[in-house]
Amino acid sequence: MDLSFVKMHGCGNDYVFVDAMHWCRADLNRVDFAALARSISNRHLSVGGDGLVVMLAAVRDDIDVRIRMFNADGSEGAMCGNAIRCVAMWLHQSKRSDRCSRIMMQDRIIDAEVLSSDATRKQAIVRVSIGSPATVVPGAEGMSKFVRSVSLHDIQLSGRPVELTSVSMGNPHAILYVDDVELTSVDKLGPQIERHREFPDRTNVEFVQVLGPDAAIVRVWERGSGETQACGSGACAAAVAGWTQGLFAHDNPVRIQMRGGELLVRISDEHMVTLEGPAKESFRGSLAFIEM
């Protein structure tokens, strides 16, 4: 059969999106989505992308769509801020929802709002509520501290000590602060940290160059995909780590500059994290599809 798809990206973090909202259970059961992700993500032999996103029928009345995201290596992800913004744009521009939608990914429900939309150019600015990293308790001098979501790890890489800040945004992130991201060997350090024994389920890795109290440059090594142009949950993790460690002003949004563009991260008084940035459709197509 022919498999129709939409290619979309958020700041260059690109995915192949498949609309399976009307697929029957038998069709869904015939497809090995992990194998499909590995095949379709190949940039030389297929569509190419950082992974596959499958859009499924809602299982509850209070959500618009359920999604599953598979990295380029076939592993399934638990959170993807850039893909969620793309889905919100697609829902709105295909008239499946208004500007506000609710998207379910694993056990999280994410509220999304299309702030501006250009249906002709197939692009939009979208804000999504990623949620709270974890339980929050009051800290000293009226500040707050994230509990069980942020921790420090001292590891050894090539015999040298490295301090990492570990952050949970529904998926794992390890933050490494550097003086200059462009001089950092992301392609060497990324896979070492991703698969370090300290992280038995592997981890995403963010290399963070702090520019000031409201800005940073970040390069990201994504678990299962390698270095990508951007990572929405990674931008949130970098901001959360900076807020907890006093590197960013707690009442300011943080501009995270990634290779594919800029993302804006905010945190509310209730410690809810929101992510704002562009979503854009690249093209549509279909593939001759052999069941996997």
* 289 part of a folded domain: no
pLDDT of residue 9 exceeding 60, the answer is yes
Q: Are residues 198 and 228 in the same domain?
A: yes
Q: Are 44 and 165 within one domain?
A: no
Quote the mean pLDDT of the chain. 91
pLDDT at 141: 39
In a domain, 6, yes or no: yes
290 in a structural domain: no
31 Cβ contact list (under 8 Å, min separation 6): 291, 292
Same domain, 141 and 256: yes
pLDDT in tens, 158-179: 788 899 998 888 899 999 999 9
58 inside domain: yes
Is the model's pLDDT at 279 over the cut of 90?
yes
**250 shares a domain with 172:** yes
Q: Is residue 192 part of a domain?
A: yes
Token reading at 37: 């992700």
**Residues 28, 55: contact at Cβ < 8 Å?**
no
Q: Are residues 247 and 219 in the same domain?
A: yes
Same domain, 144 and 269: yes
Residue 291 forms part of a structural domain? no
CA distance 232 to 11: 9
Q: Kindly report, residue by residue over 244-269, the tens digit of the pLDDT.
A: 889 998 778 999 999 999 999 998 87
Indicate whether 292 belongs to any domain: no
- 30: part of which helix (H) or strand (E)? helix 25-30
Residue 150 has pLDDT above 80, yes or no: no
Rounded-to-integer distance, Cα 250 and Cα 144, Å: 9
pLDDT at 146 over 80: no
Instruction: Select from 181, 179, 166 the least CA-distant residue to 237.
Output: 166
Identity of the highest mean pLDDT range in 83-87, 145-149, 170-174, 269-273: 83-87
88 three-class SS: helix
What is d(CA 88, CA 113) in angstroms, rounded to the nearest whole number?
A: 7
- pLDDT of 27 > 50? The answer is yes
121 and 214 share a domain? Answer: no
Claim to verify: residue 104 and residue 26 sit in the same structural domain: yes
Q: Do residues 258 and 230 touch, judged by C-beta distance below 8 A?
A: yes
For the chain, what is the domain count? 2
Is residue 282 within 8 Å of 9, Cβ to Cβ? Answer: yes
Does 144 share its domain with 85?
A: no
Both 188 and 234 in a single domain? yes
Instruction: Identify the weakest region by mean pLDDT among 34-48, 141-155, 276-290.
Output: 141-155
Distances (CA, A) of 200 to 71, 112, 172: 18, 32, 11
Residues 121 and 157 in one domain: no
Give the residue numbers spanning the domain of 89.
2-129+279-284
113 Cβ contact list (under 8 Å, min separation 6): 88, 99, 100, 126, 127, 128
Task: Please give the DSSP secondary-structure letter assigned to residue 13.
Answer: E
We report the CATH number of the domain holding residue 171 as 3.10.310.10
pLDDT at 182: 97
pLDDT at residue 266 in the model: 95
The percent of residues above 90 in pLDDT, for the chain, comes to 75
Helix 232-244 vs helix 81-93: crossing angle, to nearest 10? 130
pLDDT 10s digits, 199-229: 999 999 999 999 999 999 999 999 999 999 9
DSSP one-letter string for 155-190: EEETTEEEEEEEEESSSEEEEEE-S-GGGS-HHHHH
117, 143: one domain:
no
Show which residues are catalytic: 80, 231
